[in-house]
Amino acid sequence: MVKTSVATATASDRRVLQFGALGLAIVVLAGFVNAARAEDQKIIVSHGISTFGDLKYGPDFTPAYVNVNAPKGGEISEWAFGSFDSMNPYSVKGSAAAGSSFPYESILTGTADEIGASYCLMCKTIEYPQDRSWVIFHLRDDVKFSDGSPMTADDVIFSYNIFATKGLSDFRTIFNAEIEKAEALDPLTVKFTFKPGIPTRDLPASVGGLPIISKADYEANKRDLEESSLKPFLGTGPYVLDRLVAGQTVVYKRNPKYWGENLPINKGQNNFDTVRYEYFADPNAAFEGFKGGTYTFRQENSSKSWATQYDFPLVQSGAIKKVELPNGQKANGQAFVFNLRRDKFKDPRVREAIGLMFNFEWSNKTLFYGLYARINSIWENSYLAASGPPSPDEVAVLKPLVDAGLEPASILTDPPIKAPVSGEGQLDRKNLRKASALLDAAGWKPGPNGRRVNDKGEVLSVSFLNDNSAFDRVITPFVENLKALGIDASLTDVDSAQFDQRTSPPSFDFDIITANARAGMEPGDDIKQFYSSSTANNSVYNVMGLASPAVDKLADVVAAAKSKDQMITDTRALDRVLLAERFWIPQWYKNTYTLAYYDIYGHPDPLPPYALGELSFWWYDADKAAKLKAAGVLH
């Protein structure tokens, strides 16, 4: 059971800015010296940029994994959880609709078969010095907003200034500390200059990943990036809003006049005429809706459903395909996450004791049909995960933290902290005794009625805030185990709107929630957005409120890594430090996509390693659809 997916994301997941440096993208060295420039450094002019090494693709490329002959047409439809009341994905106000970032593009884009590479989409070339202290984007002259108006350097600078002053505060906190100046050198040339004394490795790609919106539309319609609105901003993307029923349905249509339709980098992509999301307040209702044809594509996140409920006639006849496809992405970091802002969770022994009471082994066998593996790293299912005692190179990275008194000496010799292993019974007695000793040491002793109390007589209470009833069967046994430990534990079910409000700044009104510990495969400034002290009280990503001097220092080290080998070493060291913070109780993952969909779609085979891409490079098969319609399967 995975709590969130593309179609069933929580508020913080739906609000992720699609900045190139935080997702697939970040770009490469391939260029030549421009002797006319006055700088002493070599100036690189290229069609892209990468964090380390060379780009996989040359100029004017088409990604190797797409079907360049994929037909255009048809619809793909998925489900989303809860409700929505906004088409603004960049505000903490309201609940943004699934797909609400579709209308927006950035100057650079990435591919699904590379890590750390970004390529020109809305630019012809990117120009930067070897130290990456500034970057110039030479924009294409044919980029159009969806209303046909031209996109120029003024729109880029306007977009930067808006995001730097409004919207998600954690984003502007990081960007304002890094960018010294953004300027339009002419109508098709933009330059970003970065502040001295900070790591610049990722910054050209970061600013190249900024969503671009129309200045004229924003000002003429008196829009506000910080406000919830059902009217989207004007963007340049291949899809635009078609129609919506607030809280129930949202449909995007392919723009037939999309400016980038014939670019080589876009071949075989953006294939559907429409993309539709149907909202359901309950996962069981969503499943029944799929069986009835209300929507046609489903990523199954319930192991129970996957194992027991796909035996209905449409699956048996083959009208609905039930498949598992390989997933090469890093595990999503799904976990129970503590609200570290609360005094009762300040002592790591309390957090460790609570974590001991979650029995993954019993849950996996009894509830999940053995389909999952345990998450034990922020970078689980990747080469960045720390394992075993630290290497000499990792020790060199960690020792300054020990010398400064920020980490115990044991971090230089011990394996990283892993999730506890439990026995076959729901309540593991060995872990119960260990947890009891930890709470005793932390000053939470059993009171007269067996409840844990501190020296002030306060009861240790823990409430799980949950907006997905399918998760009740996972949380309820956990609550029972915590009660056996003497903790006043409870489960509070709320609707998605309440969940969004209580888990977003400034309220952060929760004890424990299920969320995702985020991280990229070439971490840089994204780490600061997710885990920095500067975002502890204003971030939908740093929802746990982590504020650790050791993490802050290592985040700077990781962002400054000059080579991929050094980045790997630094990240593994950071993984150890993050795990030692015990801000989470890691849950589970699987390295496959579990999919069910009406047999009307095609996809590249094999898929690229780092994306499922059903909304990007899958396509609609009209012949198959006609057969299902003739059979009365599709409406």
CATH ID of 17-220, from 3.40.190.10, 3.40.50.720, 3.40.50.2300, 3.90.600.10: 3.40.190.10
What is the rounded average pLDDT of the residues 62-71?
Answer: 98
Widest pairwise Cα distance in the chain = 82
- pLDDT over 50 (residue 20): no
What is 334-376+390-589's CATH topology? Dipeptide-binding Protein; domain 3 (3.10.105)
Question: What CA–CA distance (Å, rounded) separates 485 from 445?
Answer: 10
- Taking 90 as the threshold, does the pLDDT of residue 2 lie above it? no
Closest by Cα among 127, 121, 161 to 143: 121
Residues of the chain with pLDDT > 70, as a percent, come to 94
- Average pLDDT estimate for 593-604: 98
Q: Whole-model pTM?
A: 0.86
| Nearest partner of 544 among 505, 495, 487, judged by Cα | 505
* Helices 153-165 and 169-176, packing angle to 10 deg: 110
Q: Is the pLDDT of residue 172 over 90?
A: no
pLDDT at 165 over 50: yes
> Residue 632 corresponds to which tokens in the numbers above?
């009365």
Whether the CB-CB separation of 339 and 512 falls below 8 Å is answered with yes
Count, residues in the chain: 635
Q: In the predicted model, what is the mean pLDDT of the chain?
A: 92
Do residues 479 and 464 lie in contact, with contact meaning Cβ atoms separated by under 8 Å?
yes
219-228 average pLDDT score? 95
For residues 569-588, one letter each, b for 16 or more C-beta atoms within 10 angstroms of the residue's C-beta and e for the rest, the string is bbbbbbbbbbbbbbbbbbbb
In the predicted model, is pLDDT for residue 27 greater than 50? no
**CA 396 to each of CA 212, 377, 408: distance values in angstroms, whole numbers, following the listed order:** 41, 21, 14
* Helix residue spans in 15-165 (DSSP H): 153-165
Tell me the CB-side half-sphere exposure of residue 457, using CA atoms within 13 A.
0
Condensed to tens digits (0 to 9), the pLDDT of residues 571-592 reads: 999 999 999 999 999 999 999 9
Calculate the CA dihedral of residues 62, 68, 73, 77 and round it to 10 degrees. -70
- Please tell me whether the peptide bond between 606 and the residue prior to it is cis, using omega within 30 degrees of 0: yes
Secondary structure, 3-state, 113-145: CCCCEEEECCEEEEEEECCCCEEEEEECCCCEC
Tell me: pLDDT of 448 over 90: no
With 0-12 / 13-18 / 19 or more C-beta atoms within 10 angstroms meaning exposed / middle / buried, residue 144 is middle
Six token digits for residue 129: 């010095």
Parse the chain into domains and list their residue ranges. Answer: 17-220, 334-376+390-589
Find out whether 328 and 609 touch, Cβ atoms under 8 Å: yes
Answer yes or no: is pLDDT of 305 > 70. Answer: yes
